């Protein structure tokens, strides 16, 4: 407790401010505080006695002003001003006392000079300090004798004498302690320097110091060893001691200096150097610029590490990885091993082969328990669980499933998994096996199946086409043949009115055949003859189709409404015009007895990214749901009495599908029909355009 109190008092009254860093100044400031505090306390005590015993006594206020002012300045960190004021205080007091007649003896003057001698000892070297301390002690010891012979009142000097004696003793002891500490500090400093020198000399890193022009000033043993010199002096004296001469490529030295001068330091600069015997090494250098007080570059210092072996090992590793990568790139398999914990979690143990190529992940990214399941396609998760159940029954598994590649693509893999069985616990301990990328094979199989389905559809379409051609073309031919016979008879009979009717009917039959053949030709051209895809404005296209069907619109008094928000789509402009025109023509034909016939063209919410969903809606007779698929077939006419070839909707369907979209109808009998179709809003690589 007492120690804490003393430490607290020392910190509050004696210790100089923390911003004073110089050790000597802090020590002298501490001594000055001790001296001033002792003098203040002593003079307060003495003046207190005189005030109590001597009527009319006036304390020397100017002495207190000097003492307290000096103490305040020193506590504020103004040590230089405080020490100067204190050193000049006592001569000024002597001058004042002599002028007032109070100091009437040289002995008294000497008495006042003693504090000055004590203060001088604070700032002098050790030998002079000890000399002044001895003089002060002798002078102080003689003061009682001097006082008895000169002054009748011994009390006038006993107080200041006591203060001076205490100050002299404390300061002498403190100075002695200071010098002991300084000697200890110097010994520690020498020991530290020796330890530092030993570390520098024994480190595996080369340490150097060079002049700004590049000449070595200091080098350690490691640097000498790295560059193959006999000794440090040998390296310093060598004609090749200029660092730029050790660089194999001079541009490396230029880059080193450029970066060093720009940033003031450089870290991990790798370059190829030349040893004394001419052999080549790889080094990594760290360096910094050291400047003098004026800011001018004084020297460079830094370290050098010989990384030749590391470089060779790195090159070997890179070569090995490149070989491994090359092998992995030409095979589509990888082998694996995994372990199962007691809780049933399966953790990947190791892999070899094209693992990263197949999955897109490094093995470390899937090293967590059961992380493999995170890349199994959601639709194949059940299959993976079934495979795991087979392995849990100590049976091997050969399975095909899909995985999610890191880039988002889907890969097909064929897995050969074998259980590792723990006979003691009679349970699965792990799995080893191989995985093969069969994505390409699956793609080919899918394309083959798609081609088979397409071929089957085309065969069915061809059968229907053959039937239709034989049926629909036969009817006009029979009509022509029949009316040719009638024409011959009517011509022979001279019945001109009947002849004109016969010719008109023959012409109608030939027109029907012509239209049918044109539609068939147009249908056969879809997918083989297409125009260059471009951006199409559907607003403009709708009004062009309306213009082409002007007669039908006027005859049926049909109103057309076009939405203001039709998007721009991408495709064959002429073909898309045919789609709109066929859908609008079909809507007009099946208006029935509608008093206010209307056709709407608009845009519905998109069901697919990069595709717009459009519609053509009418308020006609509608289509029974059972015929929704049939109407898109070739030559399927629900009402033979309505004019047409039955090719229009089949033509629209094929055009939409070759643009990568689809078409469908939503309708009910008597409630009108809405034909929806989707078209791309930007170029699609997979769209069958062209």
| pLDDT at residue 601 is higher than 90 | yes
Where is 257: in which H helix or E strand? helix 250-263
* 103 has pLDDT over 50: no
Per-residue model confidence (pLDDT) at position 222: 87
Buried b (16+ CB within 10 A) or exposed e, 290-321: eeeeeeeeebbbbbbbbbbeebeeeeeeeeee
pLDDT digits 0-9 by tens, 637-665: 545 445 545 677 888 888 888 888 999 99
Residue 145 is predicted with a pLDDT of 54
Neighbours of 460 (CB within 10 A): 12
Instruction: Select from 3.20.170.30, 3.40.50.2000, 3.30.450.20, 3.40.50.880 the CATH code of 333-430.
Output: 3.30.450.20
Does CATH number 3.30.450.20 belong to domain 203-312? yes
Backbone angles phi, psi at 275, to 5 degrees: -80, 175
> pLDDT tens digit string along 411-434?
998 888 888 887 777 888 888 888
Beta bridge partners of 23: none
Q: Which of 292, 301, 289, 244 is nearest to 265 (CA)?
A: 289
Domain with CATH 3.30.450.20 in the chain: 203-312, 333-430
- Which residues are paired to 415 by β-bridges? 399, 435
* Residues 64/66/67/71 CA torsion (nearest 10 deg): 130
Instruction: Kindly write down the DSSP assignment for every residue of 126-195, as one continuous string.
Output: HHHHHHHHHHHHHHHHHHHHHHHHH-S-THHHHHHHHHHHHHHHHHHHHHHHHHHHHHHHHHHHHHHHHH
pLDDT at 678 over 90: yes
CA 600/CA 513 separation, integer angstroms: 32
Q: How many residues does the chain have?
A: 690
Tokens of 639: 């009402």
Coarse DSSP helix, strand, coil percentages of the chain, rounded to the nearest 5 percent: 55, 20, 25
61 closest CA partner among 53, 52, 51:
51
pLDDT tier, 569 (very low <50, low <70, confident <90, very high otherwise):
very high
Q: What's residue 664's pLDDT? A: 92
What pLDDT shows up at residue 675?
A: 93
Phi first, then psi: give them for residue 305, nearest 5 degrees. -120, 130
Q: Do 603 and 612 form a contact (C-beta atoms < 8 A)?
A: yes
φ, ψ dihedrals at 301, nearest 5°:
-140, 150
Each residue of 540-552: b (16+ CB within 10 Å) or e? ebbeebbebbeee
Element (H, E) at 207: strand 206-210
Residue 58: count other Cβ atoms within 10 Å of its Cβ.
9
**What is the arithmetic mean of pLDDT over 216-238?**
86
What stretch(es) of the chain map to CATH 1.10.287.130? 447-525
Task: State which fold the 534-680 domain adopts.
Answer: Heat Shock Protein 90 (3.30.565)
Q: Which of 45-59, 536-550, 570-584, 602-616 has the lowest mean pLDDT?
A: 45-59
Burial 216-251 (b: 16+ CB within 10 A, else e): beebbebbbebbebeebeebeeeeebebeebbeeee
Q: In the structure, what pLDDT confidence band is assigned to residue 622 with cuts at 50, 70 and 90?
A: confident
> What's the Cα-to-Cα distance from 94 to each of 17, 63, 116, rounded to whole Å?
32, 11, 11
pLDDT number for residue 321: 64
Of 467-476, 485-494, 633-642, 644-653, the range with the lowest mean pLDDT is: 633-642
CA atoms of 322 and 316, how far apart (whole Å): 10
Contact 211, 194 (CB under 8 A): no
Q: Does residue 472 have a pLDDT over 60?
A: no
Residue 437, token pair as written in the block: 């990328």
In the 8-state DSSP scheme, what is residue 632?
Answer: G
Q: Is the pLDDT of residue 178 over 80?
A: no
Pick from 395-409, 419-433, 485-499, 525-539: least confident: 525-539
Question: With contact defined as beta carbons under 8 Å apart, do 324 and 357 qualify?
Answer: no
Lowest mean pLDDT among 125-129, 333-337, 406-410: 125-129
pLDDT over 60 at 127, yes or no:
no
Q: How much is the pLDDT for 355? A: 82
Identify the residue with better confidence: 310 or 66: 310
pLDDT at 109: 46
Q: Report phi then psi at 397, rounded to 5.
A: -130, 135
Q: DSSP for 214-226?
A: S-EEEE-HHHHHH
Q: Is the pLDDT of residue 85 over 60?
A: yes
Which CATH code, of 3.40.50.300, 2.40.170.20, 1.10.10.10, 1.10.287.130, is assigned to 447-525? 1.10.287.130
Cβ atoms within 10 A of the Cβ of 640, count?
A: 8
pLDDT for position 554: 84
What is the torsional sign of CA 620, 625, 627, 633? positive
- The pLDDT value recorded for residue 284 is 92
Look at 99 and 601; give whichever has higher pLDDT: 601
Q: Is the pLDDT of residue 36 over 70?
A: yes
Residue 342 pLDDT: 74
In the chain, where does the domain assigned CATH 3.30.565.10 lie?
A: 534-680
Residue identified by tokens 């003079």 is 43
| pLDDT confidence bin for 125, thresholds 50/70/90 | low
The pLDDT of residue 154 is 45
> pLDDT at residue 151 above 50?
no
Residue 690 C-beta-side C-alpha neighbours within 13 Å: 10
Structure tokens at 55: 């009527």
> Lowest-confidence range among 311-315, 377-381, 415-419, 635-639?
635-639
- pLDDT, residue 616, reads 93
Mean pLDDT calculated for residue range 72-86: 80
pLDDT higher at 396 or 246: 396
Would the pLDDT of 528 be above 60? no
CA separation for the pair 441, 413 (Å, rounded): 10
pLDDT tens for each residue of 297-310: 888 999 999 998 88
- Please identify which residue in the block is written with the tokens 């002891």: 173
CB atoms under 10 Å from CB of 48, counted, come to 12
**Residue tagged 């089957």 (tokens):** 456
Residue 639 burial (C-beta neighbours within 10 Å; 0-12, 13-18, 19+): exposed
Give yes or no for residue 100 having a pLDDT over 70: no
Average pLDDT, the chain: 76
Q: Are 350 and 363 in contact (CB under 8 A)?
A: yes
> What is d(CA 352, CA 356) in angstroms, rounded to the nearest whole number?
10
Strand order in 280-291's β-sheet?
A: 216-219, 206-210, 297-306, 280-291, 265-274
Higher pLDDT, 119 or 185: 185
Instruction: Please state the pTM of the whole predicted model.
Output: 0.35
Tell which residue, 453, 459, 450, 511, has the closest CA to residue 634. 459
């Amino acid at each position: 407790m007492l120690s804490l109190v003393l430490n607290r008092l020392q910190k509050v009254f004696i210790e100089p401010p923390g911003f004073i860093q110089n050790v000597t100044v802090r020590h002298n400031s501490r001594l000055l505080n001790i001296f001033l505090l002792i003098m203040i306390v002593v003079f307060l005590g003495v003046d207190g006695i005189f005030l109590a015993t001597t009527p009319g006594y006036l304390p020397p206020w100017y002495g207190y002003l000097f003492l307290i002012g000096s103490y305040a300045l020193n506590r504020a960190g103004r040590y230089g001003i405080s020490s100067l004021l204190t050193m000049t205080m006592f001569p000024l007091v002597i001058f004042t006392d002599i002028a007032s007649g109070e100091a009437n003896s040289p002995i008294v003057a000497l008495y006042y000079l003693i504090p000055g001698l004590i203060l001088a000892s604070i700032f002098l070297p050790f030998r002079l300090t000890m000399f002044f301390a001895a003089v002060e002690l002798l002078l102080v010891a003689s003061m009682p004798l001097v006082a008895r012979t000169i002054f009748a009142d011994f009390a006038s000097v006993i107080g200041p004498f006591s203060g001076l004696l205490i100050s002299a003793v404390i300061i002498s002891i403190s100075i002695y302690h200071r010098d002991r500490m300084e000697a200890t500090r110097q010994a520690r400093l020498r020991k530290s320097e020796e330890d530092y020198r030993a570390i520098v000399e024994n480190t595996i890193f080369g340490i150097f110091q060079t002049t700004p022009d590049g000449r070595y000033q200091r080098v350690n043993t490691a640097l000498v060893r790295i560059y193959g010199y006999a000794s440090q002096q040998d390296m310093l004296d060598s004609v090749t001691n200029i660092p730029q001469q050790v660089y194999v490529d001079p541009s490396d030295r230029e880059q080193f200096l450029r970066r060093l001068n720009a940033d003031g330091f450089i870290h991990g600069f790798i370059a190829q150097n030349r040893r004394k015997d001419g052999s080549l090494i790889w080094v990594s250098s760290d360096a910094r610029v050291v400047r003098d007080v004026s800011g001018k570059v004084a020297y460079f210092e830094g370290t050098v590490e010989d990384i030749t072996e590391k470089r060779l090992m790195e090159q070997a590793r890179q070569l090995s990885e490149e070989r491994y990568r090359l092998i992995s790139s030409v095979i589509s398999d990888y082998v694996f091993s995994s372990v199962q914990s007691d809780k049933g979690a399966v953790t990947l143990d190791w892999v070899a082969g094209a693992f990263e190529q197949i999955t897109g992940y490094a093995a470390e990214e899937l090293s967590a328990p059961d992380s493999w399941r995170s890349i199994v396609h959601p639709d194949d998760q059940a299959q993976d669980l079934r495979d795991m159940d087979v392995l849990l029954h100590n049976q091997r598994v050969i399975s095909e499933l899909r995985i999610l590649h890191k880039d988002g693509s889907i890969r097909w893999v064929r897995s050969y998994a074998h259980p590792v069985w723990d006979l003691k616990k009679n349970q699965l301990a792990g799995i080893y096996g191989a995985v093969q990328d069969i994505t390409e094979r699956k793609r080919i199989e899918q394309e083959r199946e798609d081609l088979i389905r397409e071929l089957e559809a085309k065969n069915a379409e061809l059968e229907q086409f053959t039937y239709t051609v034989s049926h629909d073309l036969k009817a006009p031919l029979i009509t022509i043949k029949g009316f040719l016979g009638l024409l011959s008879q009517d011509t022979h009979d001279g019945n001109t009115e009947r002849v004109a009717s016969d010719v008109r009917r023959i012409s109608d039959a030939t027109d029907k055949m012509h239209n049918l053949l044109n539609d068939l030709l147009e249908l056969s051209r879809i997918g083989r003859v297409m125009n260059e895809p471009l951006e199409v404005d559907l607003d403009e296209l709708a009004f062009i189709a309306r213009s082409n069907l002007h007669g039908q619109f006027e005859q049926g008094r049909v109103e057309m409404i076009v939405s203001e928000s039709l998007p721009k789509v991408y495709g064959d402009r002429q073909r898309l015009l045919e789609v709109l025109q066929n859908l609008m023509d079909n809507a007009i034909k099946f208006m029935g007895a509608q008093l206010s016939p209307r056709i709407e063209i608009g845009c519905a919410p998109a069901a697919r990214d990069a595709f717009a969903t459009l519609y053509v809606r009418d308020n006609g007779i509608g289509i029974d749901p059972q015929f929704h698929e049939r109407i898109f077939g070739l030559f399927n006419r629900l009402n033979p009495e309505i004019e047409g070839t039955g090719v229009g909707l089949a033509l629209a369907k094929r055009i939409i599908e070759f643009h990568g979209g689809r078409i469908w109808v939503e309708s009910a009998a008597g409630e009108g029909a809405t034909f929806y179709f989707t078209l791309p809003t930007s170029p699609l690589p997979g769209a069958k355009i062209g």
